[in-house]
Amino acid sequence: MTAVAKQPIVRRRRCKIANFCKGAGLAAVIAAAGCADSEVAGTVVPGASTGTDGFGGAVDGNLFASDGPSLVLDALTVDSGPVAGEFGWPCLLTTECNSGLCVDSPQGKVCSKYCTDTCPKGFMCVEQVLPGTMDKAFFCSARDKYICDPCEASLTCNDVGQAGNLCIKNAKFGSFCGVKCNPKASDCADGFSCDASTDPETGLSSYQCQPEKNGECTCSSNAVALGLKTTCVNHNVYGDCKGFRQCTDKGLSSCTALVAKAEECNGIDDDCNGKTDDFSAGAKCDLTNEFGTCKGQVKECVDGKPVCEGAAAKPEGCNGIDDNCDGKTDEGLCEDGDPCTNDTCNTDGSCKHIQLGGMVCDDGSICTTVDKCVAGKCMGGKVMDCDDKDPCTSDSCNPIDGCQHNQASDLVCPDDGEACTQDLCKDGKCVHPQAADGSKCAEDGKPCTADICTAGKCTHPQQDGIECADDGKPCTNDVCVNGTCTHPANTGKLCQDGNSCTDNDSCLNGVCKAGKLNLCNDGNPCTKDTCLNNAGCVNDPNGGNGLPCKSSSGDCPLGVCSGGSCFSSPNQPCTYKYDGGICNQDLNIPGTCSAAGTCAANKNAVPGKVTCSVPCKSVCIACSIFGIPTQLCLDGLFGF
């Protein structure tokens, strides 16, 4: 069964249509009807032939082509995008819009429209001053106008008539505008999710539309035009350096903040703590002269330059000390010419020679390459390649004379071009004896012949009954008959008729016939079950909204569907089971269902209870016996 696809949100024209001619074009239908634009989920039903126009009128399904999916005309779908001059059309001037309203949006200026209470997704109906006038009117304004714009305070994230949008601070990226949202309804734009955020100005929490999965905001055209900025911080172990990020025509810039580093004596605040040259005492510094550079310690910092103290470099001596501070000790003073020893000085001025490993050397053999020192000895590396490319020689290497090439037998040699011969070495020569009958040889390109050697020749005998090349048709068999690939019709083989709303399609006389229609019933009375061609089953949780159903409450079973679930209807009559206690009889009295599906007794139907009014030393029992109030003290009974 085909996976369920998400219903597309498309622009539709909803029309009250009186009559249509059979086979009329879609454009003519729209032009002839009184239509209003709205954004609703499209529904495509395969093979629909009749339906309603959404206002109680019957509609002939032949308004569209008889084959393939049709559109149910309760919501005639035209996926054409914004119409020139209408809502959503890009604009720069009010004169470019039929409504005379050119408003800002995150994608730049677009044409808007007047409204009474609702607007398309991402817009809200607010009263504002009409562009170029002093008059006010209600029209659709972009709710998400400032979403993801860099900000410093929440006030800049709200347009006229808006409230609740927060300037959300992100320690990694900066501060950006969110848009107040409803976590129970998907009212955020694509790519955004409704997440809880805390207002840093008030400490109060609310839900805001933010980039999904803690993603990074991008710059809107409005933010680029205004060059909006947000503060940012580069943090590491040395400190926090502050900078800013700015919206440009290339997007949000990188953070301009410096990268903190250890404080040095240089007249610069290296660790961004607001102080200059506050480094730790004893910081390292360089002492340089003609013999080399040695490390010292900074005694003090004067005008951003360190005063360095320590031992200066001097000529190398045979004393076990790195006199010139180059990282080597007594280098070049005790060399013995052996590449596999490390030659150094003892502290008394004598030499010592330490055996080495891994150093490159020469072991004196022609047959080795990349010789290396191992425990003070030069050892041969990889053996030289002596292959002379002759298939009928055995190749080796002599340490003195080098490569040797001896005749070999029974090795593979180059192909002689004959399909039915073997290619072997014999006594150092390449020979080609005849191949055994039945050996595989070159194909003749025909699917219904075998390609085998017979008496030293490549033959192609006919083969019948084997499977051959598929002709691409699901309801034919592909089999060799009389040396030819044939494709007879098949009956009973499973196939696909191209309609995802049928199951178990099968072949009949070479044609794929549709199987049983898939009703897509999910067993839930509160969903609208539909099968869409090329999409599969769709179980709309809102399709059954308002329909009656049986709830799970035992006391209040009468319910109504909402969002794919059955909820108990409030205020329906029910029976309340009254507990009479020790003396009185349990009663079934009239009650009323709550919205939670529980039965609450009607106030006037609950009988009154008798209470004790006489003083007792122990236990008092108060009952109504045959309608007569009775009080009984248990003084003296049972040891009381």
Task: Report how many domains make up the chain.
Answer: 4
**What is the distance in angstroms between the CA of the first residue and the CA of the last residue of the chain?**
77
Nearest residue to 569 via CA among 592, 585, 544, 586: 592
What six digits make up the tokens of 208? 């805001």
Residues 109 and 158 in one domain: no
Tokens 């490319």 map to which residue? 389
Q: Of the candidates 235, 252, 269, which is a domain's last residue?
A: 252
Q: Dihedral angle at the C-alpha atoms of 416, 419, 425, 430, nearest 10 degrees?
A: -20
- DSSP-assigned beta bridge partners for residue 114: 139
Does residue 442 sit in helix, strand or coil?
Answer: coil
Judge if 25 and 127 occupy the same domain.
yes
Reduced to 3 states, what is the DSSP secondary structure of residue 629?
strand
Average pLDDT over residues 370-380: 84
Task: Report whether pLDDT(162) > 90.
Answer: no
Matching residue, tokens 């309340």:
576
Domain annotation covers residue 25? yes
Domain assignment present for 371 = no
- Burial label for 339, CB within 10 Å (0-12, 13-18, 19+), is middle
- 301 lies in some domain: no
- Spatial contact of 115 and 103, defined as CB atoms under 8 Å apart: no
Mean pLDDT over the full length of the chain: 78
Q: Please answer whether residues 587 and 607 qualify as being in contact, where contact means their C-beta atoms are separated by less than 8 angstroms.
A: yes
* Beta-carbon contacts of residue 425 (< 8 Å; ≥ 6 apart): 391, 392, 408, 409, 410, 411, 412, 413, 431
Nearest Cα to Cα of residue 339 among 354, 326, 329: 354
Query: pLDDT for 348-361, tens place per residue?
Result: 778 888 888 888 88
CB contact at 8 A, 140 and 129? no
501 touches 68 (CB < 8 A): no
Determine, yes or no, domain membership for 107. Answer: yes
Verify that 164 and 116 share a domain, yes or no: no
Q: Report yes or no: 211 and 240 within 8 Å, Cβ to Cβ.
A: no
Give the pLDDT of residue 300.
80
Count of beta carbons in the 10 Å neighbourhood of residue 395: 15
Q: Do 597 and 621 belong together in one domain? A: no
pLDDT attached to residue 171: 62
- Kindly state whether residues 231 and 109 are assigned to the same domain: no
pLDDT tens, position by position, 548-600: 998 888 889 898 998 888 988 888 899 888 777 666 677 888 899 988 888 98
Q: Which domain holds residue 176?
A: 154-252
Whether residues 619 and 601 fall in one domain: no
Q: Does a structural domain hold residue 599?
A: yes
Q: Is the pLDDT of residue 26 over 60?
A: no
179, 247: one domain: yes
**Same-domain pairing of 48 and 170:** no
Whether residue 122 is contained in a domain is answered as: yes
pLDDT at 635: 67
Give per-residue pLDDT as tens, 122-148: 788 888 888 778 888 999 988 888 888
Kindly list the distances between the CA atom of residue 468 and the CA atoms of 438, 454, 510, in Å, as whole numbers in the listed order.
21, 24, 17
Q: Kindly report, residue by residue over 245-290, the tens digit of the pLDDT.
A: 999 988 888 889 999 888 887 888 888 998 887 776 667 888 899 9
Residues 590 and 620 in one domain: no
Final residue of a structural domain among 219, 252, 285 = 252
Per the domain annotation, does 233 fall within a domain?
A: yes
Structure tokens at 418: 């004959």
Contacts of residue 634, defined as CB under 8 A and 6 or more positions apart, other chains included, come to 616, 618, 619, 620, 621, 640
Asked whether residue 298 is assigned to any structural domain, the reply reads no
Residue 633 identity (one-letter amino acid):
C
> 599 and 629 in one domain?
no
Nearest-CA neighbor of 357 among 379, 330, 327, 331? 379
- Residue 18, pLDDT score: 31
Return d(Cα 482, Cα 323) in angstroms, integer: 97
When pLDDT is cut at 50, 70 and 90, the band that residue 410 belongs to is low
* 118 and 161 belong to one structural domain: no
Q: Which of 142, 168, 186 is the last residue of a domain?
A: 142
- Tell me: do 161 and 208 sit in the same domain: yes
The residues, ordered by sequence, that sit 6+ positions from 18 with a Cβ below 8 Å of its Cβ are 57
> Cα–Cα–Cα angle for 435, 441, 445, nearest 5°?
165
Q: What is the CA radius of gyration of the chain?
A: 46
